[in-house]
Structure 1
Amino acid sequence: MSKIPLNLIAVLSEILPDNESHVTLDNLFLYAEVNTEIPDVSKPAKIQQVLMNVNKNHPEPLKVLGKILEKYLEGGILYPNNKARFDDHIEKIKQILADNSFLYIKGGTISGSLTTPTKSLEGIIKKLEIPAIDQEFIRALVHVDSSPREAVSAASNILESICKVYISENNLNMPNKKDLKNLFDVVRKALKINRDNVEDEDLLRIISGIISVVDGIASLRTHTSSAHGAGVRQYNLKPRHARLAIHSAHTIGLYILESWNEGKINS
């Protein structure tokens, strides 16, 4: 179970008292579904005690944190009492989240356990400004714990979307069957992600692994995800399985986009 970082509790104990009365602070805790008693003490002490108790007793501390941060990271404070101090605290909050591999998702959700490829892919997706890819990226992270099947479907859709964008932008022939396997076949051949193009034995194993992983993600989506129903065989899909699919999809998606970018530079 991921907990609210102690240094983040310290920052919140500074920024919240600047912009909340005791009444609005108590209401914020109620909105965040805090399941602990709210003490009648000073605002900084109240924040520290409540959030420490959330870490100790709440089944999902990050869910509480997300609802608290929603007001502050989505423009809920229109006129902060001290804007310079407020902006400084917001940057500290974002940095602490990043340092702990947490991602704030619009709507008050905190996604944890981010890998480096996921964080790198997030940055590239934002630069691309393609809503379809961004939506699937967020959907996978939001549902990984609550609905692994939904997350697996989104992980596959991320790769499908990236492949479709690459094919369209490079004027390649779109396959008749627009599933992940056929889309990736077009992209990998264009980017020379092929066994025949690699002489180094170690790289050959990696390339073969990439092709196998894409096939695995596509098959897992077909057999277990919400996109195709449960079918005859029931998979006992867990969040860790969904994370494996998501992290694999993000790694391969990042490799495709970096290969594409390198080709632009060298062309």
Structure 2
Amino acid sequence: INNTFIIKEISTAINPIIPSVQKIDRNYIADLSTRAMKDIDEENFDSALTKSRTLLEEVFCYVIERKNEIPSGKGDINKYYKQVKNLYNMHQSKDADRQINELLSGLEKILSSISNMRNINSDAHGVGSKRFNIKDYHARLFVNSAMTMADFILSVSKNSN
């Protein structure tokens, strides 16, 4: 705790102090993205993928809570995004501009790719010999895509009534 080690008996309950995220904002997005890019520079691509997914999950949960709702995804990032879309009326619409609808469709593809790659190929789960070795440019694409999507969702939330 705070760079101090404490030795306790095995039967003693340990209550770790976990820093909570006080505010999700552009600085938070930039900080987590910077840490993910540092992981890439250190060739820790799995960790960068995990941070990309974490960034999106944190932002989704935050904007859901801003609407005084409880995130209902139970760790399923696609369910969180669906809840965000419903709460912020982000559905594709025949009345909306075609490019906006295409952009929203693209966001869903980005989210799906990040979620799948993180679940299948990051340090979150063991995958054995099926592991696909991603390159640094793939990892950068994931981090930058997550950062862009997180910033967009945060902006939608802040501009919502």
State the shift of 1:198 in Å. 5.2
Aligned to 1:141: 37
CA drift of 1:182 comes to 1.3
State which of 26, 34, 40 in structure 2 corresponds to 1:124: 26
User: Which residue of structure 2 aligns with residue 154 of structure 1?
Assistant: 51
- Secondary structure of the residue aligned to 1:196 is coil
Q: Which residue of 2 aligns with 1:185?
A: 82
Distance 1:164 1:197, change over 3 A: farther
Matched residue type, 2:40: V
Give 3-state SS (helix, strand or coil) of 2:159's partner: helix
Give the C-alpha shift of residue 190 in structure 1: 1.4
**By how many angstroms is 1:178 displaced?**
2.0
Counterpart of 1:226, as a letter, is: D
- Determine which structure has the larger helix proportion and give its number: 1
Cα deviation, 1:126-178, whole Å, max 9, x if unaligned, reads: 5xxxxxx6764343122013211110110110000111111222211321522
Q: Which amino acid aligns with 1:239?
A: D
| Unaligned 5+ runs, structure 2 | 1-23
Shift of 1:123: 7.3
User: CA, structure 1 residues 249+176, in 2 after alignment: closer, same or farther (shift >3 Å)?
Assistant: closer
C-alpha displacement at 1:124, in angstroms?
1.8
Distance 2:94 2:129 in 1: 40
Structure 2 distance, partners of 1:141, 1:213, is: 18
Normalising by structure 2, what TM-score? Answer: 0.75
Task: Identify the match of residue 227 of structure 1 among 113, 121, 124.
Answer: 124
Larger RCO: Structure 1 or Structure 2 (Cα < 8 Å, ≥ 6 residues apart)?
2
Residue range with higher mean Cα deviation, 253-262 or 185-194: 185-194
Cα shift at 1:196 = 3.4
- TM-score, normalised to structure 1's length? 0.47
Aligned equivalents of 1:198, 1:213: Cα separation in 2: 24
Contact 1:140–1:150 (CA under 8 A) maintained in structure 2: yes
Q: Is the 8 A contact 1:223 1:231 kept in 2?
A: no
- Over the aligned positions, Cα root-mean-square deviation in angstroms equals 2.3
CA distance in 2, matches of 1:228, 1:234: 10
Secondary structure of 2:93's partner? helix
Q: Secondary structure at the match of 2:130?
A: coil
Which of 202, 218, 233 does residue 99 from structure 2 map onto?
202
Gaps of 5+ in 1: 1-121, 127-132
Tell me, in whole angstroms, the C-alpha distance in 1 between the residues paired with 2:143 and 2:128: 22
**Of residues 54, 59, 62 in structure 2, which corresponds to 1:165?**
62
In the alignment of these two chains, the number of paired residues is 137
- Calculate percent identity across the aligned residue pairs: 24
Q: Give 1:66-77 correspondences, 5 Å limit.
A: none
Aligned partner of 1:96 in structure 2 is none
Alignment of 1:241-260 (within 5 A): 241-260=138-157
Larger Rg: 1
Which residue identity is paired with 2:126? G
SS in 1 for 2:132: coil
